[in-house]
Amino acid sequence: MTIRLLLADDQELVRQALCALLALEDDFEVVASVGRGDEVVDAAREHRPDVALLDIEMPGLDGLSAAAVLAAQVPGCRVVMLTTFGRAGYLRRAMEAGAAGFVVKDAPADVLADAIRRVRAGERVVDPALAVATLAAGESPLTARERDVLVTARTGATIAEIASRLYLSEGTVRNYVSAAIAKTGARNRVEAVRIADERGWL
Amino acid sequence: MTIRLLLADDQELVRQALCALLALEDDFEVVASVGRGDEVVDAAREHRPDVALLDIEMPGLDGLSAAAVLAAQVPGCRVVMLTTFGRAGYLRRAMEAGAAGFVVKDAPADVLADAIRRVRAGERVVDPALAVATLAAGESPLTARERDVLVTARTGATIAEIASRLYLSEGTVRNYVSAAIAKTGARNRVEAVRIADERGWL
DNA sequence: CCGCGCCGCTGACAAATGTCATGGGTGGCC
DNA sequence: GGCCACCCATGACATTTGTCAGCGGCGCGG
């Protein structure tokens, strides 16, 4: 009994390469391959894969959101997130989105193959080291607005720009930034953004 | 006559996948595969590949530096840079490092295969769109010190921290930052870092 | 040798940023 | 209803930042 796979990765070359790699295994069959997050669900509905391999960074719809939609609308299709970054926040969000597995692209091929088979069998598969890091990073202490402000600040916007984009007064924005800096333990807006980003709080 | 390939990419999974992909072509033979930049030269000396496929982001030694060393020490081995980011500065630096080809991971597999064959034949292969972008971005207008300051600022360091790390006075750092902001057309230190980074000036 | 660009520094000033105290409004929860 | 957390705002304040002018030194090319 072969395992039917859906492959989603925005990098054409990587996707084709993974396809070639997975084809080496006798029990895998890649039934669909897409390059955009918003094509995942349609493809899954059409081809009914057993397991969907989703990259996180994708145009249209990110892999995490795609996983959530998939879990809701295509029962029987389990999700393995396959991503470059073993960032703590990604893992947490992947779990919340209903993913059954999480593999980083640093891992060797047989880890991926193994993860796919185990997920298919109903298990949940996560790199233990990454799981620890995720627990260490903990839940986000940021309020929704603090998060918004940091997200907007990410591109290098000034306080004034953030304020106008979020329709807030400058003083309010400063307050949120200040709170975020305190909560992240940063000494800068810039550092606060970086830290929060790394922890997956954005 | 098969083309002997060396593969360098820090992501194990991607490397193995590319290996599987390239093995599908009759005239390719992957003779070496490494995951660190500082292993490239040794591997090349030992296995004498015709073409080395180098990722840019790698631990130990980045792909650009590896390409430069390779060009100097292993004549007969041509280099194709294979990278995620089609950033203008990367291409320029790749060319300066003596690379013969430049392929982004967005490209389809046959573009890569084609590039390898043409590079092997002595041609230089570059994505035309990216070449235009590179010319548009132009040479870096930053002086060495301005660059140093921006690089240090990238992590979110304050002026004071930059000053102490570079053994400069704070006023001097402020001047460099100011100059860099002017030259990038940014309105922030943060934005200046982002812009300079995108253009490959760091 | 002289000009020029880069390096490093200083000092002064304006603008942006971060901190703090305070207050009002809302909605959930006991 | 009272408590609490969050949202939004204001004003005052210290600190950090960016900008500008100016100084001396060094090395390179005309």
- Collapsed DSSP state (helix, strand, coil) of residue B201: coil
pLDDT on residue B188: 86
Q: What is the pLDDT of residue A202?
A: 78
A80, pLDDT greater than 90: yes
Radius of gyration for chain A, computed over Cα atoms and rounded to the nearest angstrom: 19
pLDDT for position A137:
61
Protein-to-nucleotide distance from the CA of B202 to the C1' of C14, whole angstroms: 30
Q: How far apart are CA B91 and CA B8, in angstroms?
A: 17
Q: What is the token pair recorded at A117?
A: 């088979």
Q: What is the pLDDT of residue B121?
A: 94
Hunting for tokens 């004034």 — which residue is that? A160
Can you give the distance from the CA of residue B157 to the C1' of nucleotide D24 in angstroms? 29
Residue B74's region, left for phi above 0, alpha for psi from -120 to 50, else beta, is beta
Please indicate if any CB of chain A lies within 8 Å of the CB of B110: no
Q: Which of B17, B107, B189 lies closest to A20 in CB terms? A: B17
pLDDT of res. A93: 80
Which pLDDT value is given to residue B87? 77
For chain B, percent helix, then strand, then coil, each to nearest 5? 55, 15, 30
Who among A109, A188, A193 is closest to B16 (CB)? A109
Q: Which residue of A has its CA nearest to B186?
A: A156
Give the mean pLDDT of chain A.
90
Q: State the nucleotide closest to A169 in CA–C1' terms.
A: D9
Q: How far is B13 from chain A (nearest CA, A)?
A: 5
Comparing every residue's Cα with the C1' atom of nucleotide D9, the nearest one is A172
Q: For chain B, list residues with pLDDT below 70.
A: 136-138
Of B11, B13, B21, the CB nearest to A20: B21
Q: For residues A10 and A7, what is the distance between their CA atoms, to the nearest angstrom?
A: 10
Separation between the CA of B155 and the C1’ of C17 (whole angstroms): 18
Length of chain B: 202
How many residues comprise chain A? 202
* B74 close to B46: Cβ distance less than 8 angstroms: no
pTM of the model: 0.82
Residue A138 has pLDDT above 80, yes or no: no
Largest CA distance in chain B: 62
Q: Whole-angstrom Cα distance, residue A86 to residue A83? A: 7
* Mean pLDDT of the region A152-167: 90
Higher pLDDT, B87 or A146: A146
DSSP tally for chain B: helices H, then strands E: 10, 6
Residue of chain B minimizing CA distance to A192: B156
Residues of B in contact with A19 (CB under 8 A): 21
How many Å from the CA of A144 to C1' of D3? Answer: 22
The confidence score (pLDDT) of residue B136 equals 67
Which letter does DSSP use for residue A2 in this model?
A: P
Query: Are B21 and A16 inside 8 Å of each other by CB?
Result: yes
